[in-house]
A and B are shown apart, each in its own frame.
Chain A
Amino acid sequence: METSSRIWGVLSRVSDPELPVLSIVDLGIVRYVRCDGESPPRVGITPTYSGCPATEVIRAAVQTALVGAGYADAVVEEVLSPPWTSEWLTQEGRRKLEAFGIAPPLGPDRAASHPIACPRCGSQSTRLVSHFGSTPCKAHYRCEACDEPFDYFKCL
C-alpha cells in the first residue's frame, strides 16, 4: 500500500474528542495528505469553528497517531482556506451522527425550508430551542412528539 493511503488509514482512526463516534476524516477536516517520496509527508487539517477548543486536541492526536504509525517526520499543517463547511461531512459520518442521537446537517439549501427530524423517534415535529448548543457546531432542539431534547449538527 502506498504511503498516502496508509496515512489516510491512520487518520481515519483518530476520533473527534467531542464527538467520539466520528473520525476526523468523517468530519471532513483532513484536507490533504501529500507524499512525494522524498520530503516528509504533509497532512493538512482545517478547524471547524475558529474557536473550537477541540482543534488543538485534534492536532496533538494527529501528531501522536502519525508518530505511533512510524511517520515521526510528518508535518501537520493548518489550512484556513477554503473554510470548513458541514457539507464536507461524509455520508458515513452523517449515518454515525444520527445513530449517536445527533441530527445531521440538512445542507444550506434545505436548512431553511425543511424540518429537522428527531434522531430518536423520526418525527418531523420539532422545535428550535437555541441556535447554540453544547458545542459551537450544534444547535439545541426539542422533539414535540417524544418530548426529548436533541442536538442538531449545524450547517456552516
Chain B
Amino acid sequence: MWMLEIPPFLPFFIGALIAAVTRGNVRNIIMVAIPIVSGLHLWMVPEGVHLQFAFLDYQLVPYRADKLSMMFGYVFHIAAFIGIIYSLHVRDTMQQVAAMMYAGSGLGAVFAGDLLTLFVFWELLAFTSVFLIWARRTQRSYAAGMRYLIIQVLSGVILLVGALFYAAENGTLEFGYIGLDGIAGWLIFIAFGIKCAFPIAHNWLTDAYPEATVTGTVFLSAFTTKVAVYSLARGYPGTELLVYIGAAMTCFPIFFAVIENDLRRVLAYSLINQVGFMVVGIGIGTALAINGAVSHAFNDVIFKGLLFMTMGAVLHMTGRINGSDLGGLYKTMPKTTVLCIVGAASISAFPLFSGFVSKSMVMSAAVEEGYDWIWLMLLFASAGVFHHAGIKIPYFAFFAHDSGIRASDPPNNMLLAMTIAAVLCIAIGVYPSALYSLLPYDTGYNPYDATHVLAQTQLLFFSALAFVWLNLKCLYPPELHSTNLDFDWIYRRLAPVALQKTFSVIWRIDEAVRQAFLSKFDLLLAFISRQNEGASGLLSRTYHVGSMVMWVSVILAAYLFLSFFTR
C-alpha cells in the first residue's frame, strides 16, 4: 500500500503549512482532521522499518515503527487531537502553526530510527515549542522562552556531539540500546536528561510552562518530556542510575508544589514528579517496569493535559491563576470543576482512574526487584502528588474561600476537549486491558486485586485526612503571592550578580592600573623633557648635514659588504 511510506510527522507539517494560509472554519476542520486521519493510518501500519536511505557512510532511518514507538505515536495523536480541539477558539496563526509543527516534531522523534534524525527532531521540538511560550506576548514570557530555548538547544547540541562520538565508536548511527559505557553514552544520557527534567536540569520546565499561553501549555505538557522518556526507554533501559535519579524526581518537586502559588506551576512541578515514576521504571528495566513506565507516560499525557486544560480554562475565564486570587469557582464553573476532579483523581492514582493502572506497575516492579527504599520514596511521592495535585489544585481553584469571582464555564470547544480527556482517563482506569494490549511486553499484570486496591485507597484517604487535619489546625501554608527560589536562582540571580560583581572588580582594577601607568608615563615624559631642556640636551643637539651623509654612506657600504656573504 502506498500509504505505508508516509511518516507520521509529514501530515502534521503539511497541516502546519495549511494552517498558515487558511483561516476560520476551513482551518479548524483541516486541523481537527489531520490527527484523526494520521492516527487511523498509524493504526494500520505494521511494525518494521518503513523508510531508510544512505547518507554519507551511514544508514539513516527516519521512519521505524515498533511497539515502543507505536505506543508514543498513538498517545501523541490523541494529545494533538485534544489540544487542537481545545485551541479551536484561538485566532492566532502563530500558535496554530507552532502547535502543528511541534506535534509533528514529537512524532518524528519517536519514530526516528537513527540518532541524526532524532537530533533533527530534537531541535525542531525546541524551536517550534518556544513560539507557544512567546505567543503569550509578555515581557516575562519572552524572557522565559529565551531561557527555555537556550537550555533546549544546549541539550540538542550535546546530543549531536554524543551522536558523533557514538558513530565514531560503533560505526553506526542506529538508535537502539546505548548504555552508559563510553563518552558517547554519557553525552547522550545528559542530553536526554536535560529534556527529561532531571534534578537541577529541571527548571526550564517550571520556568517556561506556566508562562506559555493557555492552549500552548497543554501542548507543551504532552510532547517534550515524553519524547525524552521514550528516548531513555530505548537507549537506557535497566540503567540503575536512573532508579535513583527518578526517585529524586518523584520526591523533591512535591515540596515546591505545596508552597507554589501559581497553579499551573504547581502542575509543572507535579509533571516532573510523574516523569520521575517513569524514569524509575526505565531504570529498573524489567518487563513489568518498562511496561509501567510506558503506560504511565501514555496516561500522564492525558491526565496532565486534562489538568492543564482545566487550569487553562480558569486562567482563560478569570484572567487569574494564582491560588491566592481564586476560590469558590465551583459555583459558576461546575463542569470545569468536575472535569478537574477527574484529572486530579487520575493523577493521584485512585482505583478506577487511569493513573492507578500504570503507576502500580512501577511500584510493584520496585518491590519485586528489592528496591525497598526506592519503593518507600515512591509511596511517599504518591501520597504527595495526591496532596498537591489531587487536593490542592481543585481545592484552591474551585473551593476554599470564596474569591467573589463569578466566571462561567469556558467555551464549548474547551469543554469538549476536557471531556474527551476525562472520558479517556476513566475508560483506561476501568478497562485497562485495552491499554495493556498495546504495551511492549506481555506480563499478565492485573492491578485490581483486593490488596492493592485497599492499600492505595487507604494511602490516599489518609493523605486527604492529613490535609483536612492540617487545615483545621491552621498549619496548612496559605497561598501567598511569592516567588520561590529553586535551582534556576543559580543562573537567573547568582551567576549574573556574581559576573557583574566580578567584572566590576576587574574594571576597577583595570582602571586603577591604567591610571597608575598613565601617571607614571606622564612623569617619565616630564623627566625626559626636563633632561632635554635647552640646547644642551642629548636629543636636542644639532648636527651637520655632512656627517649625516657620511653615516648614510657607511650604512650602505655595510649592506654591500653583507650582501657578498649571502650569495
Tell me if chain B binds chain A.
no
> Which B residues form the contact surface with A (CB < 8 A)?
none
> Which A residues form the contact surface with B (CB < 8 A)?
none
